[in-house]
Chain A
Amino acid sequence: MDWLLAADSPAQKLTVMVVAIALFVAVVGLILFLVDRPKNPPRWVVALGFVGLPLAGLAFGLVYPGLVTIKNSFYNRDGSQFVGLDNYVTALTTDQFLIVLRNTAIWVLVAPVLATLIGLVYAVVVDRSRFERVAKALIFLPMAISMVGASIIWKFVYEFRPDQPGVQQTGLLNQVLVWLGIPPQQFLINQPWNTLFLVVVLIWIQSGFAMTLLSAAIKAIPDDIIEAARLDGLSGFGLFRYITVPSIRPAIVVVMTTIAITTLKVFDIVRTMTAGQFGTSIVANEFYTQSFGQNNAGLGAALAVLLFILVIPIIAYNVRQLRLAEEVR
């Protein structure tokens, strides 16, 4: 039965998986069975029976690694020596890492704003049009593609071939440039614009998400309010500015903060398209590079903690806005 611990063939691995699932079901079943046994169990026993396992999972998979990461960030590259705030000083003062922080700032500022704006305009434009269903499905499709898949697609779009006679451009964008009589560009290499071309990929993915939520919010605006606004003299852009946007403000905040959090955590796009070279690295990519590429666990941990600290205010703002929105309701 050694293969249970060291499975080699696919068949063995599948068996291990089935055994693991069976074990999980058995354990959960046993816990719930035991909780159900006493006639009048105390409330805390029932609560523990239901949330105990997930809490243990969270503690083991999230809280413990988090604490270890925070601890590691105060140690040197192999965790053998306490170095105080040195890792943070390095991360916040070295030119290389300042570029990383600058890029992260660009991502967080540009991606949520543009994705939300595009999603909002799109939602308003297709609202109640004849092609609404098709148009919505089209813009939502990128959401279904993995970040890596999307990155590969866009890498083809940005593909560059040297501008020489007899060389055909294979990238869509460069071919368009050639047709327009403009020399082809190295979109992923030319700094500082290459970061923006990476951000475009995330916007492409997230616009569909923004559109879906905002479209639902727009449809929830009562018809008579729109009619009252029309009687009050609004139409077109005025209606959008004075009625639509204020009415769906809570939804806009939720969409923007959600995309901002996603943006801070973005790793796949940069990893797949440039691997963080040519001055495109961002915090999530850099802490991976430092931890596993450069074997500098301390610096990697410090970057991870920085990322964590950056996300906190956005989440806090999000929760606050949600509470406010509930009060208005």
Chain B
Amino acid sequence: MATVTFDHATRLYPGTERPAVDQLNLHIEDGEFLVLVGPSGCGKSTSLRMLAGLEDVNGGRILIGDRDVTDVQPKDRDIAMVFQNYALYPHMSVADNMGFALKIAGTPKAEIRQRVEEAAKILDLTEYLDRKPKALSGGQRQRVAMGRAIVRQPQVFLMDEPLSNLDAKLRVQTRTQIASLQRRLGVTTVYVTHDQTEALTMGDRIAVLNKGVLQQVGTPREMYDQPANVFVAGFIGSPAMNIGTFQVKDGAALVGNAQVPLERTVVDALTEADGGKVTVGFRPESLDVVGSGTAGSFQVEVNLVEELGSDAFVYGSLKSDVGASDLSAGDSDQVIVRIDPREVPMKGDTINVAIKPGQSHVFSAATGNRLS
């Protein structure tokens, strides 16, 4: 068991201008489950592969425990990796696949067999030990890939989108299995995914990356409640947060026809670069449906209602006398409001909504950083 530390770790691919991973500073505690998450091309896989030793480190250091492994061969780093496509050896049986690293390391056969059987028992693979990977289902192959990592009893598990090749149902099921297995084994784990739901449900802590730069690290709750900037705010949460940029007048943001009051500290923090504007975000569940004319409420025209049983979401557009706004959630270009599934408005209706007190997130219009 060990901690993992990225110390200004940088990876610059030859022939490119911008580093794929730029000055990554990250400390992962012993036994922690850390999820690296971000959109594709954000550098999360590259970071993991740098830790694995499959990718060169062009600047900074990487430590496992107190040991600097920046220039150590992959096999000597005492890590085990689960690949997205599992990377099982097609010509070996499941047992041979799982015990291969030990065989290369010269472990006695009896001990290999014992450790493989233990891992197979944990993963429910005992009856498949003599099969070839081709004769297994996707889920079983995924478990063999996990087993291969477990058998090595490494200091750190590295997982590179291990669930992305499974169907939706199996993914949810395996998600919990991996998380509980990791808690049980207590091995430090770095897990890469592009799926924020996976990140929120599995990780002890989450690190969000974008364009090679670390945006924020924190527990799932912190990431959800206190996003450090507009990117994290928009990335974490499903459905996504409604975010828009509005004029500030008399210490309040003009959202549609409503005035959303801003805290004094926020108004003071505005700079000239912001140009008298501020970016406000609020989650779909942070809105209350109120009667018309309520102070601080604005109108949303309903375009679509999505009913999920326990919840219902209104997809609509902001009605405003001051002209069009850019208020939208994620990539949808619509405002999303969570409403009581028992009082669902009709398409084309207009509803009045107000942001629940203390549940708005305010960011600088110029830098995107959190102000409130």
User: What's the minimum C-beta distance from B50 to chain A, rounded to whole angstroms?
Assistant: 13
User: B87 to A224, Cβ gap below 8 A?
Assistant: yes
A54 within 8 A of partner (CB): no
Q: A234-B104, A247-B91 are in contact. Are A328 and B134 (CB under 8 A)?
A: yes
Complex: A246 Cα to B100 Cα, angstroms: 14
Q: Which of A232, A233, A235, A243: most chain B Cβ within 10 A?
A: A232
Query: Shortest Cβ distance from B288 into chain A, in angstroms?
Result: 49
In the complex, are the beta carbons of B74 and A246 less than 8 A apart?
A: no
Number of A-B contacts defined by CB within 8 Å: 59
User: What per-residue 1/0 map shows which CB atoms of B141-175 lie under 8 Å from chain A?
Assistant: 00000001000000000000000000000000000
A62 to B79, CA, bound (A): 62
A247 and B54 form a contact (CB under 8 A): no
Docked complex Cα distance between A247 and B90 (Å): 8
User: CA of A249 to CA of B80 in the docked complex: distance in angstroms?
Assistant: 27
Interface of A is mostly: helix
Asked if A68 is at the interface of the complex by the 8 Å CB criterion, the answer is no
Q: Compute how far the CA of A168 lies from the CA of B48 in the bound complex, rounded to whole angstroms.
A: 66
Whether A233 contacts B104 by the Cβ 8 Å rule is: yes
Q: CB-nearest residue of chain A relative to B106?
A: A233
B81 within 8 A of A: yes
Query: Contact between A249 and B52 (Cβ–Cβ < 8 Å)?
Result: no
Cβ–Cβ contact B75 & A225, under 8 A: no
Residues B91 and A231 in contact, CB atoms below 8 Å apart: no
Q: How far is the CA of A234 from the CA of B106 in the complex (A)?
A: 12
CA distance A222 to B89 in the complex (A): 10
| One of A224, A234, A238 near B85 (C-beta < 8 A) | A224
Query: Chain B: interface residue count, which band?
Result: 20 to 34
Nearest neighbor of A232 in chain B, beta-carbon distance: B101
Instruction: List A contacts of B105 (CB < 8 A).
Output: 233
A222 to B91, CA, bound (A): 13
Q: Among the listed A230, A243, A247, which residue makes an inter-chain contact with B75, where contact means beta carbons less than 8 Å apart?
A: A230
Partner among B80, B84, B92 whose Cβ is within 8 Å of the Cβ of A224: B84
Say yes or no: A222-B134 contact (C-beta < 8 A), given A231-B75, A233-B101, A234-B104. no
Total contacting residues, chain A, CB less than 8 A: 19
Which B residues, 44 to 88, have Cβ-Cβ distances below 8 Å to chain A? 52-54, 73-75, 79-81, 83-85, 87-88
Contact A228 B91 (CB under 8 A): no
The reply to whether A228 and B83 form a contact with Cβ atoms under 8 Å apart is yes
Minimal Cβ-Cβ distance residue in A for B134: A328
Whether the pair A328, B79 counts as a contact (CB closer than 8 A) is: no
Question: A5-38 toward B: CB 8 Å interface, digit per residue (1/0)?
Answer: 0000000000000000000000000000000000
Cβ of A227 under 8 Å from chain B: yes
Q: How far is the CB of B112 from chain A (nearest CB, A)?
A: 13
Are B81's CB and A231's CB within 8 A?
A: yes
List chain A residues, Cβ under 8 A from B132. 328
Instruction: Other than A230-B54, A246-B91, give 19 A-B pairs with Cβ distance below 8 A.
Output: A222-B85, A222-B87, A224-B84, A225-B89, A227-B81, A227-B87, A228-B83, A230-B74, A231-B53, A231-B74, A231-B75, A232-B100, A232-B104, A233-B75, A234-B104, A238-B104, A242-B100, A246-B92, A249-B91
A-B contact pairs, 19 of them (CB 8 A): A224-B85, A224-B87, A225-B89, A225-B90, A227-B52, A227-B54, A227-B87, A230-B54, A231-B74, A231-B81, A231-B101, A232-B75, A232-B100, A233-B75, A234-B75, A235-B75, A247-B91, A328-B90, A328-B134
Task: Pick the 6 closest A-B CB pairs, nearest first.
Answer: A233-B75, A224-B87, A228-B87, A232-B101, A246-B91, A233-B104
